[in-house]
Structure 1
Amino acid sequence: MKNLKEESFIREGKGKLKVVIESEGERIETTINGSLKSVEKIAEMLGVEVQNGRIEAVVDGVKINAERGKLEMEFENGDRMKIEKA
């Protein structure tokens, strides 16, 4: 996960995504063009398994929850990032 960036999970093209980043009491929210890659593709990138169409795993200290159209990451320092269909 160390070499992956949040852009790695986003596929260019149709659709809009809402990105929310929460860090030390601050909240940044924006909308970008694109769509999330499939849960299966994200799992493959992270080296984890999909169970019941979901990912619930900890990779390199980052807690990852994903399902179709939604990706949440919580980092060791408490920062959070959520990407979901807008």
Structure 2
Amino acid sequence: MPCIHPPDKVENINEESFMRKDGGSLKVRIENEGETLETTMTGSLKSVEEIAEMLGVEAENGSIKAVVDGVKVRMERGRLELEFENGERMKIEKT
């Protein structure tokens, strides 16, 4: 169920691209035009370094603060936030 639309530079990426299929638990929240979709999924976030490499950015002090093709990416261990040019936001957090 791809709810986000990745920028052209990082093709073939969706919500699941940031996650591992293991025994953890994640809360996924998507906000769009005043509407919010929130769900819990089984899995864990990939490491900050893995996601930085996937997006082609540098991780500093265990976190990411970057803009990739107009998408603001903020990540620290256990939490990832993406904010798109059209105002949509996605947050994935360890529960």
CA distance, structure 2, for counterparts of residue 3 and residue 67 of structure 1:
23
Identity of aligned residues (%): 69
Q: Tell me if 1:58 matches 2:33.
A: no
Q: Give the conservation status (yes or no) of the 8 Å contact 1:2–1:60.
A: no
CA distance, structure 1, for counterparts of residue 52 and residue 12 of structure 2:
15
Question: How do 1:1-86 and structure 2 match up within 5 A?
Answer: 1-86=10-95
Deviation at 1:40, TM superposition (A): 0.2
CA distance, structure 1, for counterparts of residue 44 and residue 82 of structure 2:
17
Amino acid at match of 2:73: I
Deviation at 1:6, TM superposition (A): 1.4
TM-score (norm 2): 0.88
Gaps in structure 2 of 5+ consecutive residues: 1-9
Structure number with higher relative contact order (C-alpha < 8 Å, ≥ 6 residues apart): 1
Q: Which runs of 4+ in 1 moved over 6 A?
A: none
Gaps in structure 1 of 5+ consecutive residues: none
Which structure's residues are more often strand, by fraction? 1
CA distance, structure 1, for counterparts of residue 25 and residue 13 of structure 2:
21
Give the length in aligned residue pairs: 86
Task: Deviation per CA, 1:31-61: give whole Å up to 9, x if none.
Answer: 0000000000000000000111100000011
CA distance, structure 1, for counterparts of residue 39 and residue 91 of structure 2:
11
